[in-house]
Amino acid sequence: MFAGKNIGLSVLQGWCQTFEALCQDIDAELGDDKRGFHWVQCKEKLGMARWHWDMGPDQDRPDVITKRVNNAVAKTKHLCGVCGEPGEIDLEADWMLTLCPAHTQENRHQEKMDRLSRIKAPKGVGELVLYLGFDGVLHHGVVAWISKKASFGLDARVYAVAVAARMEFGRASAIMRFKTATPMAASHRLHPVGANAVGLQ
């Protein structure tokens, strides 16, 4: 069932046991005559498995095999793609994937770090400063580019806000700085959003 032409066969580790059981069931169902059955594509899409198969040109597709494949695919919607434990599709992640609670938290933490590393500061004389909110978390919109010469405060000259998606950052680092300078409209002013944070209005 893996010898025929395919466009890619990839099964997440957490779904391997389900896929292996499916292959055994299909093999038993077909018996000695495999009828040209083979996997055409195995992948993940929209948080769950997508397992496509084909048979010889002169063979009908047995309904029983279609049903077995569909049932196995449906199971992956509730199995963590990493470890196979019970899970649900994480709709808040950048990439939809079924994960257990532990791997959901791990994935979100990694995505936060990835977003932070993707922030590209244009060349200039300012600094990109990430301020934590009063609850110790970096919130959406609390990212400002300020002039290196400006003093921090409500009258500080603000240059730009750079948040493409909601970001939350742990309590370990209060401020991170990057060189930049991109002018903003003069109408934008700082306003307090917490004890040690500022935002824009």
CA distance 156 to 8: 54
What token pair was written down for 41? 């594509």
What gap in Å lies between CA 69 and CA 178, rounded to an integer?
A: 51
CB 109 within 8 A of CB 169: no
Q: What number of CA atoms fall less than 13 Å from residue 178's CA on the CB side?
A: 18
How far is residue 11's CA from residue 49's CA, in Å, rounded to a whole number? Answer: 8
Q: Are 126 and 146 in contact (CB under 8 A)?
A: yes
Specify the pTM.
Answer: 0.55
Q: For residue 31, give Cα distances in angstroms to 25, 26, 35, 63.
A: 10, 9, 9, 16
The pLDDT tens digits along the chain (201 residues) read 887 788 888 898 899 999 999 999 999 888 888 888 889 999 998 889 999 998 876 666 678 889 999 999 999 999 999 899 999 988 877 778 899 999 888 887 776 655 554 444 444 433 344 443 444 444 433 344 443 444 333 233 333 333 322 233 332 223 333 333 333 333 333 333 333 333 333
CA pair distance 15, 83, nearest whole angstrom: 8
Q: Give every CB contact of residue 176 below 8 A, 6+ residues apart in sequence.
A: 116, 128, 129, 130
